[in-house]
Structure formats: structure tokens, C-alpha cells
Amino acid sequence: MPASSLAQVPTRESQQRPPKPIEPPHKPAQQGFRLTATVGLTLLGNGKYSYDTSVTMPDGSALNYNGTQRSTGGTLSLGAAATPPGALRRFTFGFDLAFGGLDVWGHSVIPDGSAIPQPNLNTRIGRQSITGPPWRPFVSPYIEHEVGKIFQNRIRVGYQYWRATGSYKGSFATDRLGTTQANYDVRFSQASNMIRLSVHNDTWLDDTETDRLPPRRRSGLIQQGGVLIGTDGTLVVFMGVGPVWTF
């Protein structure tokens, strides 16, 4: 028999040897472009804000006062964030649209020891803040970098800029009969550079097994929470929930 014919006949040992298992492909850390939209709450502690009070008397003279205060508060926020694919897949760029702010009701808007045209002027002006929150809605942008995972929760560290402004104005009587009025305008401002630490967890609507490559297009639910630590000592605790998509 020719030697070429003998080479084509498999040996008994090769027939009994099991096939080498095929290893599944490596699952990437991030699939495509990622987009999230959230609704959440924030709690503010030790927040620092400044005030600038202007009082215009009936004779046209103006009195100006300014100072700083610390307070607590909270906001309702609507957020959106995007995570690009590829080399930037660990970076997330987002913003929060916040409604609310620090509690300024009952807080002084005239520094102690200042010359005032009438007694109890702080009380007269402070009553105006009861009619509604003085803070305007504001946008707070941030950037995060994913540093790892703990029990399927993504851990991110980043930077967030927080700046809120507000005001209220009104008038008060300068005599007992109320025939003459003085006008006041109080402006508030809060600004801080913040370190952002957050935890995120996804619940996907598909049933892809953990050892298989998920589809590129997915949708699910994200739950997140974290803290912001401001350079001015402000502490913010936030939490949110909403839909997540990958493309």
C-alpha cells in the first residue's frame, strides 16, 4: 500500500481523543454608544450661599447689604448622560436639570450690626420668601470615569460643577399709615466645584446569559446613587432611576 494512503487513515488514538473546546469570545466592557435618562432627588447639607440685598427708600436713597450663610435643602432633578464607545467607553458625560435648592426661609439677608432704616427689617423681608422658592432651575454638568466594579455595580469618580441663582423682591411700609413704601431686592447665589463619586446598576430587559456576547441594541433600567463633595464644604447625596439604552 502506498505511503500516502497510510497517512490518510486516522489512528485509534486520534478517534478517541475529545475535540478541543472552543473558548467564547471576550465580552467587552461596554457595548456601543450608551445613553441614560434619569429622574431623582438630591439632599444638600452644609450648603454655602451668598446674598446681596438692596433696599431703596422712598426718597430714592439706596442701602446695600451682602454676606454668606449655610443651610440645608434639596432638589428634584432630571438628568441625561452619554457614554461613547471605543477608547472613551469608560468616560461618561452628563448633566442634571435641578429644581429647588437650599432653604433660605427665615435666614438673615442683612448682616448683624448693620445700620438699618427700620427695626425688624430682616423679618419684613424674610416674609416674602414664604410665598415660593427663590431658586431658579439650573443645569449642573459633570464628567465621570469608571474605575471598577463591585458586585456588578459600576463605580465612577468624576467632577461636577454646581451653580444656582435666585432672587425675590417686594416692598414694605415705612410709616404706620402705609402711605410710603420702600422696595427691596434680594439676590442669592451658590457655586461650588464638586468631586463626584457614584454607583450604577443596570437591569436589562433581554435575557442574555452572562457568558455570552449581548446584542448591540439593548434597553433596560438604571439605578444610581452617590455623593458630591464641594470645595466649599457642601455635601450632596443624590439618587436616581430611569431608562438606559445602548446602540
Query: 27 in a domain, yes or no?
Result: no
Query: 132 in a domain, yes or no?
Result: yes
Query: 19 in a domain, yes or no?
Result: no
Averaged confidence pLDDT in the chain: 85
Residue 117 has pLDDT above 80, yes or no: no
pLDDT tens-place string over residues 159-180? 999 999 999 888 888 877 778 8
Q: How many domains are contained in the chain?
A: 1
Contact between 153 and 199 under an 8 Å Cβ cutoff? The reply is yes
Q: How confident is the model at residue 121 (pLDDT cuts 50, 70, 90)?
A: confident
For cell 435575557, name the residue. 207
Q: How confident is the model at residue 9 (pLDDT cuts 50, 70, 90)?
A: low
For cell 422696595, name the residue. 183
Cell of 224: 444610581
77 strand-pairing partners: 40, 98
Residue 188 has pLDDT above 80, yes or no: yes
Cell of 110: 442683612
Cα(24)–Cα(108) distance, integer angstroms? 66
Q: Poorest-confidence range of 42-51, 72-81, 214-223?
A: 214-223
Cα(194)–Cα(157) distance, integer angstroms? 11
Query: 124 in a domain, yes or no?
Result: yes
Cα(160)–Cα(58) distance, integer angstroms? 44
Query: 6 in a domain, yes or no?
Result: no
Contact between 39 and 3 under an 8 Å Cβ cutoff? The reply is no
Query: 171 in a domain, yes or no?
Result: yes
- Amino acid sitting at position 11: T
Query: 5 in a domain, yes or no?
Result: no
Rounded to an integer, the average pLDDT of 114-119 is 77
pLDDT for 29 equals 46
Closest residue by Cα to residue 160 from 125, 190, 195: 195
| pTM of structure | 0.80
A 10 A CB-CB count for 219 gives: 12
Using a CB cutoff of 8 Å and minimum separation of 24, what contacts does 173-178 make? 174/57, 174/58, 174/117, 174/118
Question: Whole domain around residue 147: which residue ranges?
Answer: 36-246
pLDDT for 233 equals 94
Backbone torsions φ then ψ of 121, nearest 5 degrees: -65, -35
Phi-psi region of 210 (alpha: psi -120 to 50; beta: other; left: phi over 0): alpha
Query: 9 in a domain, yes or no?
Result: no
Cα(120)–Cα(98) distance, integer angstroms? 33
Cα(240)–Cα(222) distance, integer angstroms? 8
Closest residue by Cα to residue 193 from 144, 151, 240, 234: 234
pLDDT tens-place string over residues 61-113? 899 999 999 999 999 999 999 999 988 989 999 999 999 999 988 788 888 88
pLDDT for 81 equals 97
pLDDT for 8 equals 57
